[in-house]
Structure 1
Amino acid sequence: MNSAILITYDKEDSINEALGLCDAAGYQIVHTITQNFLKKPKYGIS
């Protein structure tokens, strides 16, 4: 099983959906990072 770090919005519905998608794809989440703004260039993720 592949492992991953999950970066998602800080909303329970978003977290649960992302966890479900990762599980369906065969990924084991080793750490979860939540942020309010995922599309700010200074964070380097989008």
Structure 2
Amino acid sequence: MQLSSRLERFNEPETLKMAKLGRELRAQGFDIVDLSLGEPDFDTP
């Protein structure tokens, strides 16, 4: 199956970029509170 070249114009959503960065930083040992996706299970400040 060949996809249209128009699809190349679409970028990864910013929320997914933030979630990916959070996972990478957590893997490096940083303490991350990820509020980029979903509903938090605690009250926000």
The question of a shared fold, defined as TM-score above 0.5 by the shorter chain, is answered with: no
Normalized per residue, which structure has more helix?
Answer: 2
Normalized per residue, which structure has more strand?
Answer: 1
Q: Please say which structure displays the higher CA radius of gyration.
A: 2
Higher RCO (CA-CA < 8 Å; seq separation 6+): 1
* TM-score normalised by length of structure 1: 0.38
